[in-house]
C-alpha cells in the first residue's frame, strides 16, 4: 500500500467522512483551488481518483489537503476521503523546524482563526529512509463518482 516504511499505528482509519465534520486550520490559495476544481471537472469519466485528506483522528482538523478539501466541498461532495492519523504521535511533525506546535494548529482549527496558506508542511518519520518525509505519502487513493454524477 505504501512505498515507504513507517509506524503503521499512526494511521487510525481510512474512510469517507461528512464534509461538514472536517475542520480547516489554514487559508487556501484561491488560484490553486480553482485549478484543482477545473482539473477534477475536466475528467470525462464517471469516476475520479484523488488522494485522501489527512486529518487528526481526535479533532478532525486537516493536517494535509486543504485545497483538495475545498475543491471537493465546492464541487458538492457530501462525503470526502479521509485518512485519520494519530496526531499526538512523535512520528509526525508540523514541519522540519516545528515553528508551530500541533496543539496550536488544532486550536487554530477549532477556534476558526485560520493561519496563512501553507503555514505548515507536515512530515512523518520513515523507518526505511531514516528521514522525515512529506506527510502526503500517507494518503490513500480513493475513487469517487465524478463531479458530473453528484
pLDDT at 98: 86
Q: Confirm whether 150 is domain-assigned.
A: no
26 has catalytic annotation: yes
pLDDT at 129: 87
Q: Which domain holds residue 117?
A: 8-141
- Looking at residue 106, which CATH number applies to its domain? 3.90.1530.10
Q: Which of 26, 27, 41, 107 is catalytic?
A: 26
Q: How far is CA 107 from CA 4, 25, 88, 115, 149, in A?
A: 31, 8, 14, 11, 36
The answer to whether residue 16 sits within a structural domain is yes
User: In a structure prediction context, what are the per-residue pLDDT tens digits for the chain, which is 150 residues long?
Assistant: 446 889 999 999 999 999 999 999 999 999 999 998 888 888 766 788 899 999 999 999 999 999 999 999 999 999 999 999 999 999 999 998 888 999 999 999 999 889 889 889 999 999 988 999 999 999 999 988 775 445
Amino acid at each position: 500500500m505504501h512505498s515507504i516504511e513507517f509506524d503503521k499505528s499512526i494511521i487510525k482509519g481510512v474512510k469517507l467522512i461528512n464534509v461538514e465534520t472536517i475542520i480547516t486550520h489554514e487559508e487556501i490559495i484561491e488560484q490553486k483551488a480553482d485549478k484543482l476544481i477545473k482539473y477534477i471537472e475536466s475528467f470525462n469519466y464517471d469516476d475520479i481518483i484523488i488522494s485522501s485528506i489527512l486529518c487528526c483522528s481526535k479533532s478532525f482538523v486537516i493536517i494535509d489537503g486543504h485545497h483538495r478539501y475545498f475543491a471537493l466541498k465546492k464541487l458538492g461532495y457530501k462525503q470526502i476521503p479521509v485518512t485519520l492519523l494519530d496526531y499526538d504521535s512523535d512520528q509526525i511533525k508540523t514541519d522540519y523546524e516545528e515553528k508551530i506546535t500541533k496543539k496550536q494548529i488544532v486550536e487554530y482549527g477549532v477556534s476558526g482563526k485560520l493561519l496563512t496558506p501553507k503555514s505548515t508542511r507536515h512530515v512523518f518519520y520513515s523507518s526505511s529512509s531514516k528521514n522525515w518525509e512529506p506527510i502526503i505519502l500517507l494518503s490513500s487513493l480513493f475513487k469517487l463518482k465524478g463531479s458530473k454524477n453528484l
